[in-house]
Structure formats: structure tokens, C-alpha cells
Structure 1
Amino acid sequence: MSSHLSKQTVEALPEAGSREWWLVYLLAPIVLGGFAIVLFPSLVYDRFVWQYLWGPVVADAAGRPVVHDGVRAVTGYNIVNTVTYLVAVGYSLPGLRTYLRHLNVTFDARLAYGFAPIIIAGGAMRALEDIGLLGDFSVLFITPTIYLVVTAVAVLALGIGAVARNRGLLSIPGTVGVVGAIWAVGAVGWAFLYGATTTAPLRLWVPVATTGIAFGVTATYYWGTGFSDVATLRHPMLVLAVFGQMWDAAQNIIGVTFLGYSPKMFLTNLIYQATGFVGSTFVLKLLVTGAIVWYLADAKDEMNQTWWWLMTFFIGAIGLPMGVRGSLRMMLGV
């Protein structure tokens, strides 16, 4: 029965790659989620969406636990929203890949480095929300809504870049970089201006230390890979991925060791609590990043290049905003 139903479902779906297929791809999660909430509001919305997804966002904006229909939600990451966000990212990758192909985007290091300022701006905006400077807009810059905002800006920048390229004005990576740089400079500058105008001590040594550690580890990585036969290990995108992850690791070890913070990510905090070792996050990041980078370098010539680009960029894009956010928060004592 189940096999017959599955076969009928597959046959009813439009041809893969058609406009109708993409319409189903985009609307299916919304429609299925909407039906589930209507049919099982207490189970799906109260006990899943509210308690683990939306509730933590509201709690983060409010700065305290919040209650809806008797269900309490607390701020922070948990195993449910962590897995849900990873699944959502995986589901979105085919659509992102098709959009980039439609714009005739070249998947190269220039594009990755063009995106870096937007990613940094996202981390800075998250720090501004932590500080309490965004007012009623704070809910837009809390996980997961901040990812939607940053993605929307990136998608818009790509579209503007395609128009600029077609008119011979500026390349797509250049346009994306300009949009991101304006946003990043504004957000980071706002944080520094706030710090300079408050009575709280401004720990300028924190961003110097975190970026210094990240640059140091990345430089050591680059120097060490010169002794390897795998030339791809020095690919600019892999270097960016290492730097992004090490910036996140650096802000964690500075915060835990010297300022009394604990890791915010669910998995890293779990390992830190289990081991009690202040350098656990740094060591974990170092080992995992090294293994992933080695795999991507080795698989570059065998893997589909678009997928390789997306996977490699994703590794760096996870670390960069965390490094920026943590560094700015600790600099301002938040």
C-alpha cells in the first residue's frame, strides 16, 4: 500500500527542473507546515515551533523565558532547532544553486570573498541586537530570522550585480562586495561608536586578540600545507574557510578563558560542560575544520564544482559571523 502510494505521488509530481516543479519545491514546506499546524496546533505549533524554534527567538529578544499556552520557551540553541536549521540549509541548497546558475554566476574565489563582508555584517548585526540597539527590529536579527535577512540581502545583491555586469558597470563579486562592505562598515562602526560613548570599559584588545589568533592559525595552516603534495589545500576558499572557523574558535577560547563566558552553540557548549576544558571548543574546531578541509581539497577534482563551491563557502560562512559577533560582544562587555 505504502509503495503504491509513493509511486502515485512521484508520478503526480511535475517534471524535475520545470517551473511547476520549482513551485512545488518552494511551496511544499509552507503548505505542509501550514496544514500540520491547523490539524495539530498543540503538538506542531506549541510543542515544536513555539517551544524550539520561534519561542527561543522571542525569548532572546525579550531577554527572559517566555510562555505561550502554558509552553515555556527559553533562549539559546537546542538539539531540535540545531538539527532543524541544518535540514533547512540542506533543503535550500538546490534552489540556491539553480538561482546562481540562472544569473550565470561564476563560482570562484572572487565570489566567495565578495560575499564575506555580507556575512561579517550579519555577525555584527547580531551583536548589535545583543547590545539592545535595534529596538523593535531586534527580532529580525535573532536566529533563525537573521539568516533569512542575510540571505535576502545576498540574493538582492546578486541580482543587482547581474544587472551591473550586463550593463558593463561592475562584476557580480564586485557589486556583492560593495553592498556587503557598506553594510559591514556601518554595523561595525555603530558598535564601536556605542562603545566609545558609554561608561563601560571598551576592551579593544578582544578583537585584536581574536583576529590575531585566527590570522596566526591560518598563516600556520598556509605555511604547513606548503609541505603537502595536495596543492588544493592552499585554495583561497579553503583558506577563507579555515580563517572563518578559527575566528569563531578564537573568540570562544578568549571568552571562556579570560572573561567568564561559555560557548553559545549547543554542541560546543555541551562538550565544554562535559570536559571542563577551556580549550575544548578550540581543539574541536581545529580538528573538525582540518578534516573537512582535507576532504574538500582531496575531492575538488572529483566533486561537482558548484557543490564544492557551496560546501566550501558554507564552512567559512558558519565561522565568520560567530567570530564577529563574539568579538564585538566581548569588546563591549555584553
Structure 2
Amino acid sequence: MGLYEFFYEYFIRPIQENQGYNPVNTVVYAIILGIAVLLLYRMLKRMEIRVDGRFFKALVPYIVLGPLMRSMTDVGVLPRTYLTVSPGGYFVIAAFAIASLYIVWRHVGPGERFYPLYRDFGWVLVGGLLFLLVINLDKVSFNWEVFKYFIPALVIAEGAVWLLAKKVPVIADNSVLFYTHFYDATTTFVGIQFFGYWEQHVLARWLIDTFGTAAIMYLEKFLILLPVVWILDRWMADEDPDLINFVKLTVFILGFGPGTRNLLIMLMGG
């Protein structure tokens, strides 16, 4: 197999035929993500932008952009191209977020004015997508029945996190991450268990096939997330707090983004 055939088989064809992820592209995308996190962290340090609550609030619209664009693609509002589905769509959103960050930073610097301006820039982009959605509502078939399954499952899942946080300090310290990823697990569980969707990620797909239920996603999330936050809080306690916060922000996005995408796709009948 030549280089082109290899690239086509493991990277292009899965997108063309909506096959989901495979072990090869999963590893490559994970490496790219890791490198991107380190490079972005260094960029923020050079720009003297702190990774704190202000930065998180300013980043919210850009976090929303990804799942919104993907769900609009799945229902036909946006064309299905390499730049509107995973992972290309997330590269596009990241490019918008980084470009907006740089433009705003160049204009006002890293002071207090930076955060609201960067946030508002992002909401303008979200507003543009929502406008496209509104004028194309004829392509959307809303399915409100999703809430009949989603809300009870979410209450139970988040209740479990609440109880665990009472007993395990590292979970209490990182409860937002656990709540977020159990929200993601809930959207996967509801979509697969009740509405016939399928899992695109390699490990999760194997676990669901092996155990015969998408409920295994909760255990998968827990067993992956617990050692991650333990390492960040215990083994890396002496590292730069901005680095720890940025890694946790990335973990948050990896839960909130897919979860919101799943929920929107189900609600819009994608």
C-alpha cells in the first residue's frame, strides 16, 4: 500500500463514507491534539493571556460553534465537506478561534478589555450560524421526544457524579469535568439506545459492541477521566497552573463539544 492509498484508506475514505474513526486516524488525531495543546499554551503565555475563568467565559461561543456547525451539517443546512465534518470542522473552528484571539489581542492587548471583546467576536460567529439555521428551518425535523429519555438519564447520571463528589475529593475538585463528560455519555447512551444512532469512536464502539449497551459509556468516561485528573492534580501539582488549566479546558471541550453535537443532532433529526 502506497502513501496515497494509506492516507486515503485511513483518513479520506472514513470521511467520504461516514465510517467513523479507526485506530490509525484516532492515534494521529490524538497526537495532533496533544501538540496543538502545547503550542497553544505556549502562544497564550507569550501573549500574556491567563487561562482562568475570564478566558473560559470568553471561549464559550467558540466551544459552541463546533457542535452547532456539525449538527447543521448533519441535517443538511450546511454542505457536507471535509471542512464541516469531524475532524475538519473542528480544525476550522479552531482556526477561527485562534485568528479571532490574535486579532483582538493585537487590537487591545491582554488586559481586561480583551476578554469581553474576544467573547463578543465569538458570539457574532455563532449568530451567523443561527441565522443560517433559522432561514433553513424547513430542512430541520425537530424531535422533542428526545427529552423524554435524555432528561431522566441525565438526572440519574449527574446525580451519580454528585454522590461520588461527596466521597472522592479529586472528583469534587474536578466536578465540572465529570458532570460534562457524563452529559456526553448520556447523549451517546440515549442516541444509541433509543434512537438508532451509532458510535464513531473506536474504543467506545468496541465497548458498546462487547457489552451490548451504550450505558457502558459512563464507566468508560469515569475510568478515563479519573486518572487524568488525578495526574493533573497530584503528579503535576508543581507545574504552571495555566498549563493545568488549559489541559482541563481541553478535557472539558472534549466532553461538552461531542455531547452538545449529539444532543443537537438528535433534536434536529439528523
Tell me which interval the TM-score lies in, with the shorter structure as reference length: 0.7 to 0.9
Deviation at 1:272, TM superposition (A): 0.7
Deviation at 1:121, TM superposition (A): 1.3
Instruction: Check 1:132–1:116 CA distance in 2 against 1; reply closer, same or farther (3 A cut).
Output: same
Q: Which residue of 1 aligns with 2:67?
A: 123
Aligned residues: 270
Deviation at 1:54, TM superposition (A): 2.5
Compute the TM-score of the two structures, normalised by the length of structure 1: 0.70
Deviation at 1:134, TM superposition (A): 1.5
Q: What secondary structure sits across from 1:84 in the alignment?
A: helix
The counterpart of 1:225, out of the listed 152, 165, 178, is 165
Q: Percent identity?
A: 20
Compute the TM-score of the two structures, normalised by the length of structure 2: 0.84
Q: Which residue of 1 aligns with 2:143?
A: 203
The alignment status of 1:76 with 2:16, answered yes or no, reads no
Q: Which residue of 1 aligns with 2:48?
A: 104
Q: Which residue of 1 aligns with 2:3?
A: 44
Q: What secondary structure sits across from 2:143 in the alignment?
A: coil
Cα distance between partner residues in 2 of 1:286 and 1:167: 36
Cα distance between partner residues in 2 of 1:176 and 1:192: 25
The counterpart of 1:307, out of the listed 238, 243, 250, is 243
Task: Report if the CA contact (8 A) 1:214-1:243 is conserved.
Answer: no
The alignment status of 1:247 with 2:191, answered yes or no, reads no
Deviation at 1:176, TM superposition (A): 3.3
Task: Report if the CA contact (8 A) 2:165-2:172 is conserved.
Answer: yes
Deviation at 1:83, TM superposition (A): 0.6
Deviation at 1:144, TM superposition (A): 2.4
* Bigger shift: residues 113-122 or 289-298: 289-298
Deviation at 1:155, TM superposition (A): 0.6
Cα distance between partner residues in 1 of 2:131 and 2:205: 30
Larger radius of gyration: 1
Deviation at 1:242, TM superposition (A): 2.4
Letter in 1 for 2:11: L
Structure 1 alignment gaps of length 5 or more: 1-41, 61-74
Letter in 2 for 1:77: Y
Letter in 2 for 1:133: V
Output one character per residue of 1:205-227: Cα deviation in whole Å (capped at 9) or x when no partner: 43686477557645653565355
Instruction: Check 1:156–1:223 CA distance in 2 against 1; reply closer, same or farther (3 A cut).
Output: farther
Cα distance between partner residues in 1 of 2:157 and 2:187: 13
Q: Which residue of 2 aligns with 1:182?
A: 124
Matches for 1:150-299 after TM superposition, within 5 Å: 150-163=93-106, 165-166=108-109, 170-172=113-115, 174-187=116-129, 191=133, 194=136, 197=138, 200=141, 202-206=142-146, 210=150, 213-214=153-154, 217-218=157-158, 221=161, 224-226=164-166, 230=169, 233-235=171-173, 238-299=174-235
Structure 2 alignment gaps of length 5 or more: none
Deviation at 1:305, TM superposition (A): 2.1
Cα distance between partner residues in 2 of 1:313 and 1:165: 24
Q: Which residue of 1 aligns with 2:29?
A: 85
Deviation at 1:263, TM superposition (A): 1.6
* Bigger shift: residues 154-163 or 205-214: 205-214
